[in-house]
Structure 1
């Protein structure tokens, strides 16, 4: 069955270390990475679109051209005069990553400013994906505009997917962060949290506590990612299931580990509706991704 997946958030210019003192330019961001991997593995009769805002500058033109080249649609993306995409640099040490960011004039911060356009874009989609980073970059009024439309989409029966992806440095206030992440969960029908984030920021003692808390917020389907330990699935009307992680020969770059899992999971889940098979497939793809450099790994380097 054909459909459309829409991913909402911020795509940034990515700089990463290359040979010598050179830097390699790319484009990435959590929800765009998810869209990229969903596009790789969804059936051809599905379309994948990205929703954000970019500037009218050359960097924005190049970013849009890159997104389109990956097969992800850009037709809904807003252009904002006087703004530009954000930029980040990856620092790697023993396969683990840290980041430096430049995003003060990021156009993506205005993605919810045109509420009518936002509503029409969401209404045209079957699966809608967003993250805690999507919410974090928005002003409180804009975040509420987005959440209103996502609640409307959930009520209409769309699959609204949320990865809390908690990044405290993006939030000015911890309590507001926790309240907004919880509001994002309430607007969702499928949530894909990382347990280490939930334990640190919400104080969850174990995965069962994370599942119970999100169940209490009205989330019907929950995928808790726990790094190398595996994934726990709690789906309505199905028994709770554990899926182990896939074997990794050598970790090269953990950038996009969770995003690639999300995209591959949603692609398989949209195709056959089996969360356990989707998680097994996604774990294999994520294991492949972290054995390569960069957020976006070509399909011919990925095996499941």
Structure 2
């Protein structure tokens, strides 16, 4: 019996020890938190030569290092190489402008560029730079664009048009839109006129032959909306009246192979939207023609 009790005691003791062993707390070694890398911001900023301009007046933007003393140094542009991308854009515009480019041939940066604003308003322009997925550059400039009060059509005065019809001017917008405007102004056979033309950069020159079939109608919409925003609704439309007869009564420039679509009138100018005929396999083009009021 003593042996039995002794054996039973050993079993109880063993079970008790086992139980105590299972309940001992297990120490878990905590992994150190990953060290957060501090984001390095860069003092790159925008500068502009004029914060208030008229429509179609060129504005020059510059990219600078706001704390550097070596701006203009031949090698100073290399500081921008650390960025994965640097973007400039105009609020509300369709496209953005990439100022820093990395490709197989190397590295490039645009530190100065011109821009034309076509319509009056306040335009906020942004500069944003990125590195390793973080935004490290942030700046903005507000540009105020006015409609000149002493002009007859867009930025032109009839009194200033004295040369032959050869002054062709393009107005860059850095592809912030799919198109850009150009004007032709001057005298032809003693007649003063200004033409506003629209060109899609992707389909310029010979590429216009392969343009989508609806591209001319897109151009028509842009031009109608633009002139309407500047001078109000048209006075005459081919959808409701005989605009050809009205054109002949108001304008002196021969139409040749063009059709009249709409006519606007202001106190100092008559304005017509005209459509060129299809030729040489190219889609028709729309343009705007303005002349002084003669009668």
Instruction: State the TM-score, normalized to the length of structure 2.
Output: 0.24
Q: Larger C-alpha radius of gyration, 1 or 2?
A: 2
User: Higher relative contact order by CA 8 Å / sep ≥ 6: 1 or 2?
Assistant: 1
